[in-house]
């Protein structure tokens, strides 16, 4: 019978029937809405029991520990067999604010509204230099950024390299704490230790669920969208919406235009050749970056690609679940494996289920503290916000332990622990993400024809970045923050 069909049911113990998996237990106990526990399982094998130490003689039949169950061909487990799981799901509230609009009309004669003729307004074309700079950014080798963020009252230094599409790689450093950064397909991910998560993403429930593995970056870290704010293609779009002549300020002794958008302020040299000097993303973390072209694009993609390859199963702290009761299926006297099953309900975000929302189960089985194996799986969340997850622990550890139990009659308790978390990237989606990286790498590293240098008026485009043929040695970049007025 398949794992989905093998539903345990209660029965009284019998010394002549093999033990089965326990029936479904009750929901989470009162007062602990986010924890699900069952009592440990015992594998019991009929046959001569080992002699107790220091005693002569023996007994027939298997020994049963206090609260244990006589297995072998015995009955089903009762309350003495326990499946213990500690699964915690947080909750979040999402506030939705709607802004209304108020319209007023003037009444003319006889109480009729006065009809006003629409006033034609001519769209102001963006300055020519913004279009030229935008094209150079999109056709260049990418941008590298050095700067700082203010998080939890401390300073975090950031080093990022961003390809034209917005795919990015880099690192955040706060004293001895570090976090690797990767961005692909418009989403930013972090990989950091537990201390970093606790120090700089304390609003995330159960940071231990995400520490030490790739996870989708929470809203507070780094506090802005890396691809949409620092990506050259996104910057080009922002520049194309510029109208008139932007205000100017001094940036490190260079006169620069300050192009203000809702996402960031972009500082661009006010004279040809026009170059992006700095970016100040909007947000409470007061981020500020110097900007320069990527001089070693091959090194950028060499660092980015393996990070993207490791994103399968990345967690999503913004998607959280309330787990149900864990049960075992097809485990007793089965050397092939043991199935762990957990139902779960989406608790955050509230409202309709987000497109592509997924739940991931991470489970492990132990016996008296010794690991017997682990497994994981993930599924999409149904429209009713529910999902049933199950995975099977297999492998040498489980097989060896079960064979020993079958060959040496006695009591062998085992238990499972599991977590249900949101999943940002399914394993099956990783090849598509890698294909994106490979296509862009090929386009960026393709030798480009020589372009004319900038004219005195800045009409010729030149390049925002160096040719891909340049040296790909170690890059040197300053961490100096751009100047402010």
The tokens for 407 are 């060959």
- Residue ranges, CATH 2.50.20, the chain: 130-310
Query: Do 350 and 318 touch, CB atoms closer than 8 A?
Result: no
- So what's the pLDDT on residue 113? 52
Q: What is the pLDDT of residue 237?
A: 95
Residue 414: per-residue pLDDT:
97
Q: Which 3-state string (H, E, C) describes the chain?
A: CCCCCCCCCCCCCCCCCCCCCCCCCCCCCCCCCCCCCCCCEEEECCCCCCCCCCCCCCCCCCCCCCCCCCCCCCCCCCCCCCCCCCCCCCCCCCCCCCCCCCCCCCECHHHCECCCCCCCCCCCCCCHHHHHHHHHHHHCCCEEEEEEEEECCEEEEEEEEECCCCCEEEEEEECCEEEEEEEECCEEEEEECHHHHHHHCCCCCCHHHCCCCCEECCCCCCCCCHHHHHCHHHHHHHHHCCCCCCCEEEECCEEEEEEECCCEEEEEECCCCCCEEEEEECCCCCCEEEEEECCCHHHHHHHHHHHHHCCCCCECCCCEEEECCCEEECCCCCCCCEEEEEEEEEEECCCCCCCCCEEEEEEEEEECCEEEEEEEEEEECCCCCEEEEEEEECCHHHHHHHHHHHHCCCEEEEEEEEEEEEECCCHHHHHHHHHHHHHHHHHHHCCCCCCCCCCCCCCCCCCCCCCCCCCCCCCCCCCCCCCCC
Tally Cβ neighbours within 10 Å of residue 447: 8
What is residue 233's predicted lDDT score, i.e. its pLDDT? 97
Under a CB-based contact definition with an 8 Å cutoff, are residues 330 and 5 in contact? no
What are the pLDDT digits (tens) for 3-33?
Answer: 333 333 333 333 333 344 444 444 444 444 4
257 bridge partner residues:
248, 268
Q: What is the pLDDT along the chain (485 residues), one digit of tens a residue?
A: 333 333 333 333 333 333 444 444 444 444 444 444 444 555 554 444 444 444 444 333 333 344 444 344 444 444 444 443 333 333 333 333 333 333 333 333 344 555 555 565 556 678 899 999 999 999 999 999 999 998 888 899 999 999 999 999 999 999 999 999 999 999 999 999 999 999 998 889 999 999 999 999 998 888 889 999 999 999 999 999 988 889 999 999 999 999 999 999 999 999 999 999 999 999 778 899 999 999 999 999 999 999 999 999 999 999 999 999 999 999 999 999 999 999 999 999 999 999 999 999 999 999 999 999 999 999 999 999 999 999 999 999 999 999 999 999 999 999 999 999 999 999 999 999 999 999 999 999 987 666 555 443 444 444 455 444 433 333 333 333 444 43
What is the crossing angle of helices 297-309 and 430-445, to 10°?
A: 170
Domain 130-310, CATH: 2.50.20
**Is the overall model pTM greater than 0.85, yes or no?**
no
| Cβ atoms < 10 Å from Cβ of 3 | 17
- Contact between 70 and 64 under an 8 Å Cβ cutoff? The reply is yes
């Amino acid at each position: 019978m398949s794992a989905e069909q093998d539903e345990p049911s209660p029965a009284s113990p019998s010394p002549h029937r093999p033990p089965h998996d326990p029936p479904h237990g009750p929901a989470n106990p009162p007062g602990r809405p986010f924890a699900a526990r069952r009592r440990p399982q015992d594998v019991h094998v009929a046959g001569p029991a080992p002699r107790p130490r220091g005693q002569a003689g023996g007994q027939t039949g298997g020994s049963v520990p206090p609260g244990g169950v006589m297995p072998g061909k015995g009955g089903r487990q009762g309350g003495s067999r326990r499946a213990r799981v500690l699964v915690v799901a947080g909750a979040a509230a999402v506030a939705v604010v709607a802004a209304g609009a108020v319209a007023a009309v003037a009444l003319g004669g006889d109480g009729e509204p006065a009809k006003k003729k629409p006033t034609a307004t001519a769209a102001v074309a963006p300055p020519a230099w913004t279009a030229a700079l935008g094209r150079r950014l999109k056709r260049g080798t990418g941008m590298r950024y050095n700067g700082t963020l203010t998080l939890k009252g401390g300073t975090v230094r950031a080093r990022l390299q961003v390809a034209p599409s917005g795919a990015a790689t880099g690192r955040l450093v706060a004293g001895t704490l570090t976090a690797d950064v990767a961005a692909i397909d418009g989403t930013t991910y972090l990989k950091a230790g537990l201390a970093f998560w606790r120090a700089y993403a304390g609003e995330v429930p159960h940071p231990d669920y995400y520490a030490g593995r790739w996870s989708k970056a929470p809203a507070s870290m780094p506090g802005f969208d890396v691809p949409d704010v620092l990506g050259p293609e996104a910057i080009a779009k922002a520049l194309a919406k510029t109208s008139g002549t932007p205000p100017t300020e001094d940036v490190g002794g260079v006169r620069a235009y300050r192009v203000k958008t809702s996402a960031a302020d972009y500082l661009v040299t006010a004279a040809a050749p026009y170059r992006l000097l700095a970016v100040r993303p909007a947000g409470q973390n007061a981020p500020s970056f110097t900007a320069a072209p990527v001089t070693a694009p091959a090194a950028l993609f060499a660092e980015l690609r393996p990070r993207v390859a490791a994103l399968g199963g990345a967690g999503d702290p913004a998607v959280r679940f309330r787990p149900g009761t864990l049960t075992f299926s097809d485990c007793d006297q089965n050397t092939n494996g043991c199935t762990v099953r957990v139902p779960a309900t989406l608790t955050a975000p509230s409202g309709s289920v987000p497109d592509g929302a997924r739940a991931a189960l991470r489970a492990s089985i132990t016996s008296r503290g010794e690991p017997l194996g682990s497994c994981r799986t993930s599924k999409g969340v149904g429209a009713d916000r529910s999902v049933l997850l199950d995975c099977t622990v297999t492998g040498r550890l489980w097989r060896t332990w079960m064979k020993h139990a079958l060959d040496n009659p006695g009591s062998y308790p085992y238990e499972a622990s599991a977590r249900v978390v949101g999943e940002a990237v399914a394993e099956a989606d990783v090849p598509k993400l890698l294909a994106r990286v490979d296509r862009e790498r090929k386009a960026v590293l393709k030798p480009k024809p020589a372009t004319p240098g900038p004219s005195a008026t800045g009409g010729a485009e030149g390049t925002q970045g160096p040719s891909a043929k340049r040296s790909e040695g170690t890059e040197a970049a300053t961490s100096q923050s751009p100047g402010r007025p």
